[in-house]
């Protein structure tokens, strides 16, 4: 059974940093691209970032480019999102999601339950 468990969400001050983790199990992690999607309180879904199966290629939404960094450790079956220069508008539940294949083009077919990031002074 595919399981994705996010962690690392917290209350952080504007301008601060946070690293989210997503522990994966139940599938061959190194064979699949992974993504982060967020949802601000009471709002819709917003795609954040994506990384290919080997970690060699990444892509970001304009709203986070230059501030967030996606990475993965295939030996630990873990996906990361390093979040720097955080803003109030980054407040959201952050979901990690598995793609159906190794590259960018593919369906998000499994999702974690999310971790809450709150940016506030």
Partner 1 sequence: EIVLTQSPGTLSLSPGERATLSCRASQSVSTYLAWYQQKPGQAPRLLVFGASGRATGVPDRFSGSGSGTDFTLTISRLEPEDFAVYYCHNYDSSRRTFGGGTKVEI
Give the residues lining the site for partner 1 (CB under 8 A). Answer: 37, 44-47, 50, 57, 59, 61-62, 95, 104-109, 111-114
Phi-psi region at 54: left, alpha or beta (left = phi > 0; alpha = psi -120 to 50): alpha
Measured from the CB of residue 80, what is the shortest distance to partner 1 in angstroms?
A: 19
In angstroms, what CA-CA distances link 48 with 1, 26, 27? 25, 24, 23
Phi and psi, residue 89, nearest 5°: -75, -5
Q: How far apart are CA 95 and CA 40, in angstroms?
A: 11
Measured from the CB of residue 43, what is the shortest distance to partner 1 in angstroms?
A: 9
- Given the complex with partner 1, which of 20 and 108 has the nearer CB atom? 108
Measured from the CB of residue 56, what is the shortest distance to partner 1 in angstroms?
A: 13
- Given the complex with partner 1, which of 27 and 111 has the nearer CB atom? 111
């Amino acid at each position: 059974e595919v399981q994705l468990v996010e962690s690392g969400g917290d209350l952080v001050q504007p301008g601060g940093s946070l690293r989210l983790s997503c522990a994966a199990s139940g599938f061959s992690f190194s064979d699949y691209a992974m993504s982060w999607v967020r949802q601000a309180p009471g709002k819709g879904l917003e795609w954040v970032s994506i990384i290919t199966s080997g970690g060699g290629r990444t892509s970001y939404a304009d709203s986070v480019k230059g501030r967030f960094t996606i990475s993965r450790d295939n030996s630990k079956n873990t996906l990361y999102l390093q979040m720097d220069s955080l803003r109030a508008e980054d407040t959201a539940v952050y979901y990690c999601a598995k793609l159906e294949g190794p590259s960018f083009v593919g369906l998000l077919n499994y999702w974690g339950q999310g971790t809450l990031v709150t940016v506030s002074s």
